[in-house]
Chains A and B, each alone.
Chain A
């Protein structure tokens, strides 16, 4: 089968070149190093950055690596840094960028580069395995019921397309890589907030969020919110509410006294919550298979 990405330059019939020339500086390289390479391509109307990158791939640089899928801002594959700002390539219009200088497109900085614009985002999947799962109580005879207001609350968090732009921009791991070992990052605070606000869920992840997910590392400087293409108010609606919940369980002496006096249960320990993660379940399954 012929690979048509290496086909010679031919503008699609529907778009028009307007005579201007675009200068694009794309990062080329792999784990061992690399450099910006400048490409010149004619401007066409109505294009997004991903179109131009594809055009370069189709003409001058057939070996250029770039990850993409939907071209509609929905799959979260095409995350990169355009003129130094973390964005989706398929949702960034060329007309919104200044063209006097070359436009730089570089891979996400917080993750190891595999090749060119493609990074290895597996850190995020490792964190995902450590999120204590949704754990509803026993099913009542009439089935689970949720009121509309309770359903709506989590809707914002479920818009996440896992582009990991927020993880990439978060300085806790972007600039201090060693924190990856004990920090979940904004995308997973969104997930944890959704679970902690779920009316049917029965776990208490507050100790876990502090001790294991490292919420204290976030200094609420809001860059995650600034870059989120789904416009999730990550800091205001997920992280700060989680921080406040952690205050309830850990830093508020009056809340502590109240629990003692009213003999309310202590917050669930982090190790208890850890039993409900995907990783724990996988380990359990593995142990069982070994036995049998």
Chain B
């Protein structure tokens, strides 16, 4: 297809050629020609969000739950600036997003025209790459490049800024196979020498641990399958970051829970005490490492990452392996099998005995008593009542509820857990759940939310109702900016500066005002029935779950502390901590 057509038509053609079925967007003056083309076709579905930030988060939810890039279309000026938070979020969490923005006509750029903003300038630091396309002839080629770059290597958001005259003008369409993409071909195979060295270390290790992250999920289903095979075959314990949950099943017997600031006691102490750490697609984020100087002092560390700049950025890697997780795991398995499937079985068994002792601390314990719902209890019940659903997708907002969701919900498959990890964006979860539901219309999609975060993008109720998206908004309402309150309690002398949620809406009436269903639950005895009512309702639901207002999220490694300086919190565990040694309370 080497055809002449308008820029606007090219955009739609290029999206079709890229296999795009859904675009999340919001129209405006600078994208009207594109919207006109969208109107005249049926191959691509446009989802009209209610705020451009929502469009990007929805596209992130779509991308993360499908493994395909998410596509966003917004207008110039405010449309583009509203997208910035979403783009930054996608950059931090390595989510492939292609964002198309309208721009004022080329001859008006620089004149402070109506709704002009320097979009490529503003978004340069929050995109993997961006382009301002000034000639229609280059438009299709640029869009194909954009998809290539968003998805190859470490995925991320890209942006194509398209002036209105470029959309109107006629030019030559470049097909996908003819597009210039050769200059960006990141290496996917790891160095076989280093992989072999790592296998040697794995054979000898007495206290090994797999530390896995979002990279496993980004690498695709094959990577998760290979990871499971490797873990089962070696018998090594495995923990994961917030972003990597589901790559290895939470129900698997080698699973020791999430690690990091609010990770489990056993996972963090295993990280601290291991002699071989195998980092698979994680990036030694500060929420994971705690105090760098005391991070896992006695281990040799392997780091598998497709992004060379992640390696040795924070933590020195003894076995640096640059490559795609899937390819590298495949090679590790190959080499390990060829060398006779050896492990230090006695060492590893002793290690497991130690880990079981740590597990016995039961660091996630809490007490549900009286007439107030504990947030942990609400999540345990939600888990119990939905765990059997093979089609369950969970999103979260940001705060205590997010950490509790990570602790109390189990994920047995990749791509089922959508949360804002790197940027920690309140307001992410609701639009993300919209995007997930668009991609999986029949699935059970639940957004575990805090009341404060949820209000940040609550306008997306309109989108959920318009497209009959039966998203379940499970709000753990503590009438507090709970995570902020927790830090103020622990670190700022209980001075609760501005951490209330005052003047909250009546969430049931709010749901009804949008034409959705609202459920209020405040009694632990009613909880199961209320959750069932939510699950059985066919449309979108806002579930206002009134929970304990002053619950703290534990365990917690205070920022700047080491893994073995974890706070367990509950008074009843104090003795145990003394025994375990070195644990501050």
Is A bound to B?
no
Query: Which residues of A are at the interface with B, using a C-beta cutoff of 8 A?
Result: none
